[in-house]
Amino acid sequence: MYLETPKKFRAFVQQAHDVANEFLRANSRKYDLAEHSYPKELDLLASLIDGLNESGNSTGAGAAGVRVKSSTKKDQGVRNATNMASVLSVIEMCWGDVGLLLSMPRQGLGNSAIASVATDEQLEKFKGTWASMAITEPSFGSDSAAIKTTAIKDGDHYILNGEKIFVTSGERSDSVVVWATLDKSLGRAAVKSFVVPKSLPGIRVERLEHKLGIRASDTAVIVLDNCRVPAENLLGDPEIDTSKGFAGAMATFDNTRPLVAGMAVGCARASLEVMRELIEKAGLTIDYDRSPALQPHVVATFLQMEADWEAALLLTLEAAWMADNRQANSLQASMAKAKAGRSGNEITLKCVELAGSLGYSETEFLEKWARDSKILDIFEGTQQIQQLIVARRLLGLNSSQLK
C-alpha cells in the first residue's frame, strides 16, 4: 500500500474537491436551515456523474461493492480501483458537506449494499436505482441480528412486514434495501436483504425525523405492511446457511464502513483547516520541529488532533485498499470506522471549543461540522459495536463468546 494518493486519481480528487467547494459548501448553510427541502442543485451534479459512468470515463467513484475472491495470476499485483476512488471522493465531498453528500441521487448506502451482495444479474437489474438502506428498528439499534421485520415466502414473492427507522434518504430514494428475517428461530443466518421499490403497494414513508445534524439529508421512518416483493429481489443467495452465520449480511458493512470513515475524515479535515487559519491569524506558529509541550496549548492541541486525523485517514485508506486487492477487510473496516468516527467527532467539537465565540456562532461552519460529525460515530455501527467487532476479530472469539 502506498501512502500517497495514486497518480491516476489525483485529477479526479481535485475535481471532487472543486465540486465540494462550488456545489456543496456553497449550499451548505442554505439546506442546513431548510431541513427536509430537496437540494435541487444536486440534480445537475448527479446527471454529470451519470454521464461519466455511461461514457466509461468515470474513475469509479460511487457505491462500489466489496466482492472478495481468491486471486489468480492475472489478478496479482497492487490495485487501486473503485473502493479507493470512492473513499477519496467521499473525503473530498464531506469536506464540503456531509448532509448534501448523503442526499446525492443514486449514491445511497443501499447502492453499496446492492453492489456488495447482489448477483451479476441483479446488478444489471437494479442499475440506475437510488437505494436507501433500512436496517434499524424501534426495538434495536446496533444489533442487526435482532431484526424483527419478517419476509415470508409466498409463491414467487416474499411478503414483508415491519417498521424501519432512521432510513437515510428514505423519502427521496427510488427503492429501499430492507433487512428482514426469513425465520427468526434460525437466528442471524436467516437475515437477508431485499430491494423494495417504493412504487410497490405496502411500503410507505410514515414520517421524517428532525435531527441535530446532516439536516440536508432526509431521515425517514418506513413501514412495510404486507408488502409483496418479487423473490428475485432478495439480494444474493436465498438459501439459509447456518454455517456461514451472519457473513452474507455483514459483507455490506465491509464496504459501507470505510465510506462512513471517509465521511468523518473529510469533515474533520475541514475543521482542522479552519482552525489552522484561526491559529495563524492569532499570530501563533505551528512548529513541527518542537515538542508540543514547549508550544502554546492551542498549538499543542492542534498537533494532537492532526495526528489523530492522520491515523484515521490511513486506517480508512487501508480498508479501501484491501477491498480493491480482494483481501478480507472486515477487521480493518471496523477499525477505520471506530477511529475515524470517534476522532472526527472529537476534532470538530474541540475546534468549536478552541475557536471560542467564532466556533459557536454561524460566522464559521465549525458549529455545523461538529453537529454533522456526530452521526458518523453512530450509523453503520456505533463506536461501541466497532470496538466489540475488533476485539472479537483480534481474539478469535465469536459473538456468543464475547458480548
pLDDT digits (tens, 9 = 90+) for 279-308: 999 999 999 999 999 999 999 999 999 999
Q: What domains are there in the chain, each with its CATH number?
A: 7-125 (1.10.540), 131-233 (2.40.110.10), 247-395 (1.20.140.10)
Q: Which of 53-62, 124-133, 181-190, 340-349 has the highest mean pLDDT?
A: 340-349
At residue 122 the predicted structure's pLDDT band, cuts being 50, 70 and 90, is: very high
- Helix then strand then coil, in percent of the chain rounded to 5, is 50, 15, 35
- The rounded distance, in Å, linking the Cα atoms of 55 and 193 is 31
Task: Say whether 137 sits in a helix, a strand or coil.
Answer: strand
Place of cell 465565540: 357
Q: Give residue-wise pLDDT tens across range 22-32.
A: 999 999 999 99
Asked whether the predicted pLDDT for residue 138 surpasses 50, the reply is yes
Q: pLDDT value at position 255? A: 83
Place of cell 473530498: 92
H-run or E-run covering 304? helix 297-324
Q: pLDDT value at position 53? A: 59
- The rounded distance, in Å, linking the Cα atoms of 29 and 10 is 28
| Single-letter code of the amino acid located at 159 | I
Asked whether the predicted pLDDT for residue 265 surpasses 80, the reply is yes
Query: Taking residues 204-214, what's their average pLDDT?
Result: 97
Helix spans in 97-216 (H): 98-102, 109-117, 120-125
Hey, what's the cell of 358? 467564532
- The rounded distance, in Å, linking the Cα atoms of 339 and 341 is 6
Pairing of strands 175-181, 203-208: unpaired
| Single-letter code of the amino acid located at 337 | K
Give the start-end residues of each E strand in 102-240.
131-134, 150-154, 157-168, 175-181, 191-197, 203-208, 219-230
List active site positions: 380
- The rounded distance, in Å, linking the Cα atoms of 215 and 393 is 35
Q: Structure pTM?
A: 0.92
Q: pLDDT value at position 61? A: 44
Nearest C-alpha neighbor of 335 from the set 253, 213, 271, 399: 253
Q: pLDDT value at position 237? A: 85
DSSP β-bridge partners for residue 191: 181
User: Is residue 94 within 8 Å of residue 101, measured between CB atoms?
Assistant: yes
- The rounded distance, in Å, linking the Cα atoms of 354 and 335 is 28
- Arithmetic mean of pLDDT over the chain: 90
Asked whether the predicted pLDDT for residue 398 surpasses 90, the reply is no
Among 81-85, 143-147, 281-285, 296-300, where is mean pLDDT lowest?
143-147
Backbone angles phi and psi of 153, in degrees to 5: -70, 130
At residue 113 the predicted structure's pLDDT band, cuts being 50, 70 and 90, is: confident
**Count of C-beta atoms within a 10 Å radius of residue 261:** 35
Instruction: Give 89's contacts (C-beta < 8 A, 6+ positions apart).
Output: 12, 13, 16, 59, 61, 62
Pairing of strands 150-154, 157-168: antiparallel
At residue 254 the predicted structure's pLDDT band, cuts being 50, 70 and 90, is: confident
User: Is residue 312 within 8 Å of residue 341, measured between CB atoms?
Assistant: no
Q: Give residue-wise pLDDT tens across range 165-179.
A: 999 999 999 999 999
